[in-house]
Structure 1
Amino acid sequence: MRTSRNGARLQVSPEVGTWLARRSSKAGDWTLEDLVAAKRGTTVSVVIPARNEEATVGAIVTAIREELHGLLVDEILVVDSHSTDATAEVAAAAGAAVVAQDAVFPALESLAGKGEALWKGVAATTGDLVVFVDGDLYDFTTDYVTGLLGPLLTDPSVAYVKGFYHRPLNGAAGSEPEGGGRVTELVARPLLNMFWPELSGFVQPLAGEYAGRREVLESIPFVVNYGVEIGHLIDLLELRGLDALAQVDLGHRVHRHQSTQALGRMSGQIMQTLFDRLQRYDRLVTAIPPATMLAQFQRGASADGVERELVLTDLSSPQRPPLDSLPAAIRPENALQETA
């Protein structure tokens, strides 16, 4: 039972309440020794999508390589997503395998976006379990990897694990301890509560740290942009059921914050994905689909002398199909060896 701001008593649905108790855990619930013992021949790949992350990606790779590689992690792959800095060189020097995003499935049209890098990362690795870690973390510890692997290695009924954490917002006015995750609180959470309340128990549905079983990840489409995470949750809820999903408290996360306009574009991509899923699963069918063009304004001279420049962004959210639906002819047995 919870109390709202106006004093009304709110009851969490029995399904969500049961799920929260059963499928929420902390990274510290498992030791490295516990997980190594539970691994029993299971192979693990860590995929790090990175675009212009030369300042942070090296430390992330180094920590995983020094503490987990050979014990718990079998592959560390950085997918270089059109970086213009030394991301690829830094990652390789730290000990990761590095693949250019467009080098995986070169016969396919090149698409831009985080989800594209994740999809290519799954294709270019071979682990039975795949762990995704963002490349922009300043305070990374290997608890992120061990925590996400805990439910998957110890409970065969868990298919996909989402991370959550305390996420401060640091700015000129100081630090707001729980101010991060603005798109989650303003866009993703209200929409999920309205249309997929079964997912309302996820603390951070858009978190970039999560893990899944390969056969599960290969069975779902990947939206190529920032809609990828909300698309995963909805698709897996519909296909596997809520109890196949879990979440783990990873502690604390500090990363590079994006501008308000960038968050607006991200929000639009997430909304486009959610409306696509509403139609796909017959939860809301509209005669006119939502427009995909986002109009934003930034400071600058315009033809009429107004100091605001109109910027248009197409928020169309193309998706890559499930990997297990691709013809064998375009998918080598070990894409990483083919493209590294």
Structure 2
Amino acid sequence: MLPEVETWLRDRSFSASDWSLPRLHELKGSTTVSVVLPARDESATVGEIVRVIRRELAGLVDQVVVIDSRSTDDTAAVAARAGAEVHAQDEILPSLKPLDGKGEALWKSLAVTHGDLIVFIDADLRDFRSSFVSGLLGPLLADPRVHYVKGHYDRPLGNAPTGGGRVTELVARPLLNLHWPLLSGFMQPLAGEYAGRRSVLERVPFVTGYGVELGLLVDLLELSGLDALAQVDLGSRAHSHQSTEALGGMAAQIMLAAWSRLDRQGKALMLEEPSVRLTQFHRSASGHRVVDRDVSIAERPPMITITR
């Protein structure tokens, strides 16, 4: 791991329990907060998430917005009954040709929210806790130098407490370690729970598909620098899991998002030597243990060229 990433991990890694609600209310002052839930066919979970936010974070959160991304169920009605401000994705900025994907919903939310700070929360979370929101707000309210905060958590899969996040471990983490090693300290780079300052989020592009999270990390690193980014331990996250086929599509979009940034940064032709270190994390009783692996490869020449 790079020395500057080790320093960042020490200075910019937090836990949701670091800030009590009274302390956050004190820090908030005149700052306004919007929470955004992009949702497509999430009627089973979106209502409870909205109710918890409105009930437990009243006074801290000023606006709860659900962007309905062409749901075929009653997601919009359920969210509205729970107290959310609901907008149909395609009705926002109607002069623009509609595009598909989660990133489109997130980008369009910037046009219908008014908060100085914007918190993005996936709408498929089960057993949702308000600390998912308050934890992300902590670093932003406490330190004006922090521009963007990612959540991280254990992701259960079946009977395995940390079996989720397959695309993270197989695609996103290797990409970041290879090409943007300064971002290797993020434990959940594809987490759907994150928050940022409007003044910064409005200055970067949003990938319209599932590459939005990786794209934002890379672009915000370029715009603001590593010290402006932070992460918060939110505990454990329970949600529905995608099929392997769906994960393949997500992985492809993430790789495309990475490629577009490599191209823009002049790295597409591999003129720069990529990092060969892969940073991973193991949770222990005392916290997270960093595990560095050498993932360098070698090539054998064609066998026909070998003298035997």
User: What TM-score bracket applies, with the shorter chain setting the length?
Assistant: 0.7 to 0.9
CA distance in structure 2 between the partners assigned to 1:253 and 1:139 by the alignment: 8
Give the equivalent residue in structure 1 for 2:179. 195
Give the alignment partner of residue 40 of structure 1, picking from 26, 29, 45.
Answer: 29
Structure 2 residue 228 is the aligned partner of structure 1 residue 239: no
Give the equivalent residue in structure 2 for 1:317. none
Structure 1 residue 121: deviation in Å? 1.1
CA distance in structure 2 between the partners assigned to 1:78 and 1:285 by the alignment: 41
Give the equivalent residue in structure 1 for 2:235. 251
Structure 1 residue 284: deviation in Å? 2.4
CA distance in structure 2 between the partners assigned to 1:244 and 1:113 by the alignment: 27
Structure 2 residue 258 is the aligned partner of structure 1 residue 270: no
Give the alignment partner of residue 139 of structure 2, picking from 151, 155, 161.
Answer: 151
Structure 2 residue 53 is the aligned partner of structure 1 residue 64: yes
Structure 1 runs, 4 residues or longer, greater than 4 Å off: none
Give the equivalent residue in structure 1 for 2:63. 75
Structure 1 residue 239: deviation in Å? 1.2
One-letter identity of the residue aligned with 1:131: V
Native 8 Å contact 1:56 1:136 kept in 2: yes
Matches within 5 A, 1:111-260: 111-170=99-158, 175-260=159-244
CA distance in structure 2 between the partners assigned to 1:273 and 1:43 by the alignment: 31
- Structure 1: gaps of 5 or more residues: 1-11, 287-340
Native 8 Å contact 1:47 1:122 kept in 2: no
Give the equivalent residue in structure 2 for 1:261. 245
CA distance in structure 2 between the partners assigned to 1:162 and 1:143 by the alignment: 13
Structure 1 residue 285: deviation in Å? 3.0
Matches within 5 A, 1:292-331: none
Native 8 Å contact 1:45 1:130 kept in 2: yes
CA distance in structure 2 between the partners assigned to 1:247 and 1:64 by the alignment: 21
Structure 2 residue 2 is the aligned partner of structure 1 residue 13: yes
Structure 2 residue 98 is the aligned partner of structure 1 residue 110: yes
SS of corresponding position for 1:238: helix
Give the equivalent residue in structure 2 for 1:293. none
CA distance in structure 2 between the partners assigned to 1:284 and 1:83 by the alignment: 37
- Structure 2: gaps of 5 or more residues: 271-308
CA distance in structure 1 between the partners assigned to 2:143 and 2:128 by the alignment: 25
Aligned-residue CA RMSD (Å): 1.0
Structure 1 residue 176: deviation in Å? 1.2
Alpha-carbon displacement from aligned partner over 1:22-59 (angstroms, at most 9, x marks no partner): 00000000000000000010000000000000000000
Give the alignment partner of residue 49 of structure 1, picking from 16, 32, 38.
Answer: 38
Provide the identity percentage. 64
SS of corresponding position for 2:126: coil
SS of corresponding position for 2:238: coil
Give the equivalent residue in structure 2 for 1:25. 14
Give the alignment partner of residue 92 of structure 1, picking from 80, 92, 100.
Answer: 80
Structure 1 residue 246: deviation in Å? 0.2
CA distance in structure 2 between the partners assigned to 1:186 and 1:220 by the alignment: 26
One-letter identity of the residue aligned with 2:157: L
Give the equivalent residue in structure 2 for 1:332. none
CA distance in structure 2 between the partners assigned to 1:283 and 1:241 by the alignment: 18
CA distance in structure 1 between the partners assigned to 2:110 and 2:193 by the alignment: 14
SS of corresponding position for 2:125: coil
CA distance in structure 2 between the partners assigned to 1:284 and 1:237 by the alignment: 18
